[in-house]
Structure 1
Amino acid sequence: MENFEDIVKLVTGNLPREEKKKVIEEINAQKRDKEIFKKVKISWAFLSSTKKMNDYEIENAFLKIQNKITGKKRRLYPILNPVFKYAAIIVFLISLTTIYYTNKQQFNRTDNPKELLYTSFITENGQRSKVVLPDSSIVWLNSGTTLSYPSNFSEQNREVSLNGQAFFQVYHKENNPFSVQANDLIVKVLGTKFDVDAYPENDKIAVVLESGKVELAHENIESFSYTMQPGEKAMFNIADKALTLNFADPTIYSSWKDGKLIFRNESMKNVVEKLKRWYNVDIEVANEEVYGSIFSGTIQNESYEEIFRYIEIVCDVDCKLIHNYEEEAKPEIIISKK
């Protein structure tokens, strides 16, 4: 098809009705046009759902994608009608099974040995879930996460332990603080909303505060203390016990609890780790050059096949998809630099 803009107009909903049939017939008649149409459709789906980008950023990103698809430098014509600027977003409701179990653990005391029951909630990779604690606090668990609390949770200080990532909406109780232990880092709160990212395979723990106040402490370092303000992101290095602070958009950082992953100029290394858990797939990076790529996009209800085809387009990489149909076998994606 000589007129590339017709494909763009068709995808963005700006092609007159009387011209649609002709353009669709031309696309179906040419294998190359079918491939271009598919790439443009995938790219526009991502960009149109990326609400945090302004119109200029969306059009500029779309122009870059056009250039990569066609191999030609072109100017983006004003064909994007504001009415169709953003595609309608279908709310993706995730129905998940949370694995629940009770684990007995013995705590030996010299005066009176006491047995505590521990309640744990587990989400496997590819799952997310919502948990209501005995004190009415609400916790959203991301993929590959375990949350545990003791049977005396409501009787004494409200303490939970976390491996993975969770968003907390803590119920306020005067003189009864709530605390989250992740590795040796302790997050103490009275009532607030915050996200803790503490996957055991990572060398850092991230805490992002949406509202209220939280105090960061360390189990073994008495002098370690910092009180966070809303909008702050704290990165705790487990090895050297160092704390790094900056600002982040909490709504973007914790979007996973609403069934979305939002990436803004994020390194491919972080993207790969998040997608592994999100889709429960195995990802192999064939060469280190892949990690030099930067990715932006919003993932909501796309399949992993669609995601990696889009990554191919915008990041100049090849993604080889291997579908494993054996029971309990994960799909595998091999990413290499073009």
Structure 2
Amino acid sequence: MNTEREKIRKLISDYLSNKIDSNQLNLFLDGFDKKEIEEEYDFVLKNHFDNLVLTEGFEQEENTENNEKLIEARSIIQKDPAKSIGFNGTSLWSSVSGIAATISIICCAVAVLWVTTQEKAPKEEDLPVISFEERYTQPGTKGSYTLSDGSFIHLNADSKLSFPQEFNGKERLVKMGGEAYFKVKRDEERPFVIEAEKIKIKVLGTSFNVKAYDEEDEIVVAVESGKVMVTDLKQNSKQFILTKNQKLVYSREENKFKVTDANISSDLIWREGVLKFNNTPFSEIERKLERWYGVDIQVEDKSVYSRKISGVHKNENLKAVLESIKFAFGIDYKINGKTVKLKTF
């Protein structure tokens, strides 16, 4: 019966440590109907409850909840004087011969305590949830924010940032979409983690730029200083370490990563109010102008999309940029409030 005794002891231990489930409870109760293991129940339950009584005073502060359950069980048992089990503070069973008369009462007590335990068990939804604040920049606007840890973030137009009021825990997590420049306050014990669409970026203290607009195929990370680790959110095995003047480009369409050494100044000049086009397809220019100036561009002549444009514009208004494009590339425009119509001539 050693195996049965070990099984009984484990069931009792699992129950008191809140690990028993309904199937285990049924298994425990079914044992009372088997004469061949009745003695093992008698032996194990007797010693278990005797030990609880003896150690009750020593563990009162640490096991207040378990003591309350024990008292509840005793009250159930003591309600039936015809089936008294002789509890006197030193031994819960005064006689082995009394076990048959108490089996049904013990079943009831264990069942009641199991239900009580399940009702008091912590639920997942009761766990604390970290709430994130959100910041948005509308098309035509930019924004700068300093987080609670001292890290600085500059948001480009039509971008969003989510972050907690205070960073608690082992990492400093923020989420972003659009484009943002980060200058992260160094904290070697708490890495700074950014979730941007398909990738996760992890740093200790560094400065870098992230571009991850929903409507664009490419996600770009360009490192100005320090070291950055980029991970594929879906495949954690794909990790890339970037250092100063390195750039990572991830193509959503091709699901491919590419790391290059490059002069990243062109990835950062938006912070200085500079628009730079370098043989750029007009479809990309259209999106950039809409975000930069907060307008809706309507292309009446689809041949415009066949053009590629180069040029640098620093702190220029929309009309000045359109005049430059008109003169150099033969694309006429008409501005009506927040709507811009384009066509070739």
Structure 1: distance between partners of 2:275 and 2:152: 20
Q: How far is 1:179 from its partner?
A: 1.3
- Normalising by structure 1, we get a TM-score of 0.62
Matched, 1:176 2:183: no
**Gap change, CA 1:111 and 1:273, over 3 Å in 2:** closer
Contact 2:170–2:189 (8 Å) recurs in 1: no
Structure 2: distance between partners of 1:282 and 1:158: 37
**Gap change, CA 1:146 and 1:291, over 3 Å in 2:** same
**Gap change, CA 1:111 and 1:317, over 3 Å in 2:** closer
Letter in 1 for 2:174: V
Structure 2: distance between partners of 1:241 and 1:323: 40
Q: Give structure 1 stretches of 5+ with no counterpart.
A: 1-107, 325-330
Structure 1: distance between partners of 2:284 and 2:134: 27
Contact 2:219–2:250 (8 Å) recurs in 1: yes
Partner of 2:343: 336
Contact 2:245–2:263 (8 Å) recurs in 1: yes
Partner of 1:87: none
Deviations 1:117-162 (A, max 9, x none): 2111211111011110111111100001110113452443011100
Q: How does 1:24-63 map to 2 (within 5 A)?
A: none
Partner of 2:327: 313
Q: Which of the residues 151, 166, 169 maps onto 2:180?
A: 166
Q: Which of the residues 318, 323, 337 maps onto 2:336?
A: 323
Structure 1: distance between partners of 2:123 and 2:159: 30
- Normalising by structure 2, we get a TM-score of 0.60
Matched, 1:262 2:260: no
Structure 2: distance between partners of 1:113 and 1:336: 58
Deviations 1:199-220 (A, max 9, x none): 1222221111111111110222
Partner of 2:285: 271
Higher-helix-fraction structure: 2
Q: What SS class does the counterpart of residue 310 from structure 1 fall into? A: helix
Aligned-residue CA RMSD in angstroms?
Answer: 2.1
Contact 1:135–1:154 (8 Å) recurs in 2: no
Q: Which structure has the higher relative contact order (CA within 8 Å, separation 6+)? A: 1
Q: How does 1:164-243 map to 2 (within 5 A)?
A: 164-243=178-257
Structure 1: distance between partners of 2:126 and 2:214: 33
Deviations 1:10-49 (A, max 9, x none): xxxxxxxxxxxxxxxxxxxxxxxxxxxxxxxxxxxxxxxx
Contact 1:116–1:151 (8 Å) recurs in 2: no
Q: Which of the residues 139, 153, 158 maps onto 1:125?
A: 139
Contact 1:128–1:141 (8 Å) recurs in 2: yes
Structure 2: distance between partners of 1:120 and 1:158: 15
Contact 2:170–2:191 (8 Å) recurs in 1: no
Deviates more, 1:303-312 or 1:263-272: 263-272
Partner of 2:296: 282
Q: What SS class does the counterpart of residue 187 from structure 2 fall into? A: coil
Q: How far is 1:240 from its partner?
A: 4.0
**Gap change, CA 1:274 and 1:247, over 3 Å in 2:** farther
**Gap change, CA 1:111 and 1:291, over 3 Å in 2:** closer
Q: What SS class does the counterpart of residue 265 from structure 2 fall into? A: helix
Q: What SS class does the counterpart of residue 176 from structure 1 fall into? A: coil
Partner of 1:110: 124
Q: How does 1:136-155 map to 2 (within 5 A)?
A: 136-155=150-169
Partner of 1:79: none
Deviates more, 1:294-303 or 1:108-117: 108-117
Structure 2: distance between partners of 1:143 and 1:218: 25
Q: How far is 1:265 from its partner?
A: 2.8
**Gap change, CA 1:126 and 1:111, over 3 Å in 2:** closer
**Identity percentage over the alignment?**
29
Contact 1:206–1:236 (8 Å) recurs in 2: yes
Deviations 1:266-310 (A, max 9, x none): 222222211110000111223443233232222223221111111
Q: Give structure 2 stretches of 5+ with no counterpart.
A: 1-121
